Amino acid sequence: MHATHPLAWRSLVLATLAFAGCFSIWTLYAVMGLTVREQLVLSATEYGLLLAAPIFSGAILRIPLGMLADHYDARKLWIALMLSLIPALLLLPVIESFTSYLLIGLWLGISGASFTLGVRYVSEWFASAQQGLALGLFGVGNAGVAITFMLVPLIVFTLGWNWVGPVYAGALLAMILLFWLFSPSAATLSTALPSRSLPLAELIRDARIWRFSLYYYFVFGSFLALLLWLPQYYMQAYDMTETQAMAFTLFFVATSSMVRALGGWFADRYGARAVNWSVFWVCLVCLFFLSYPPTTLIIHGMGKDVQLEISMNVWLFTGLIFVIGVAQGFGRASVYKNIHDYYPRHMGSAGGFVAAMGALGGCTLPILFGLAQDVLGIVTGCFMILYGVLAVCMITMFFANQAAQYQQRLQQAQAHNFLEDE
């Protein structure tokens, strides 16, 4: 599309609200998991598996649904997806075993695929020069997890634990009706670019797609993993109550989600690649300090031993987490601006593939966090893992940028006859 459609902003607002509702369901276990962990006496690894269940199914389904969205109306597919979640929410009060929670988690994870449908739906309405801003604003729907952090404790306090699922089901039904009645259909678009779905084999062979996927694995996957893991981290590392831990995690989630729109604007103005590279450097510095575990050093002096305590208080820790969250919000927006720059006609398939790989970070990283804690016995093991993932991202981006600059210089040389064109 060469110009922004008059109904673009209406479609964006309704799509963002629908995505926020779906994202709140996708991350429901971030709050419920703490209670389930106590009830079922789960290990750190089992807790990681519980958190990963909905993220896994939501990640995997992003690829096929993205391809479908390039051929069929993303709006109708999205409405059908939301309807499919209602039975799972109604079953939440009757399940009791760890296996049942895993299976229902996989079912609820369908909500995570809404992001791919929303990207395909929103990107159709906006001109290329506004894609970063539009997709950044749509990504603010990540703040839907704040609904979960505030609403679930309120429901439990006023109505009881068994009402969480039914209340969410009723709210989702209202959201479906709102979206169905008032969101404009893509059929009203008369100047949309023709689109086709990229075959999965072609996506797998595309090295650029894999680079974008790796970047998104960190900026989105680690964001997901942290919002799931931080409540219990605060409780373990700083002896907080569940309410306090939720409040600190909510601060991280809300700020990281809200700045995504600003990140999209920066990507439009300064270039997505520059924003990504800056984001990685900021996160690298913060993770370096977060990875260092609480340590006691004993220095043997001439007359006596000197004991040195090295640890991070809760306010410094929260400040570094806040900086990482803001940087990740910028990074999530800039990655999708990059995708639209290279694949404007394939936002369903290409965007869905990258979204799936990124969401797998939210699935695999909590499990790795749990394994690191169980095996090493170090509470900061989660940040050591993130530091390693980020190092791989930065090395990959560095060599990709070097190769791109070489190709650019080569083309300029050939154009000015500095090299013979074979």
pLDDT in tens, 353-368: 888 888 888 888 888 8
pLDDT tens sequence across 57-82: 988 888 888 888 878 888 899 999 99
The token pair that represents 290 in the structure block = 């977060």
pLDDT tens sequence across 126-175: 877 777 778 778 878 878 888 888 888 889 889 888 899 999 999 999 99
For 3, half-sphere exposure in the C-beta direction (CA atoms, 13 angstrom radius) is 6
- For CA atoms 150, 156, 159, 161, give the dihedral sign: positive
Give the pLDDT of residue 189. Answer: 56
Burial class of 6 by CB neighbour count within 10 A (0 to 12, 13 to 18, 19+): exposed
CA dist 17 → 23, 138, 175, 254 (Å):
10, 9, 8, 15
Structural domains of the chain in order of their starting residue, each with its CATH number: 8-189+207-415 (1.20.1250.20)
The span from the CA of 367 to the CA of 268, in Å, is 35
Higher pLDDT, 373 or 395: 395
pLDDT tens sequence across 244-301: 888 898 889 888 888 887 888 888 888 888 888 899 999 999 999 998 877 777 777 7
416 pLDDT tier (thresholds 50, 70, 90): low
Give the pLDDT of residue 197. Answer: 57
CA dist 183 → 14, 68, 189, 190, 289 (Å):
6, 20, 13, 17, 46
The span from the CA of 202 to the CA of 241, in Å, is 49
pLDDT at 422 over 50: no
pLDDT tens sequence across 209-242: 888 888 889 998 898 889 888 888 898 888 888 8
Phi, psi of 299, deg, nearest 5:
-100, 120
pTM of the predicted model as reported, rounded to 2 decimal places:
0.75
Nearest partner of 86 among 10, 21, 158, 139, judged by Cα: 21
pLDDT tens sequence across 300-358: 777 787 777 777 888 999 999 999 999 998 988 888 788 877 877 777 678 778 888 88
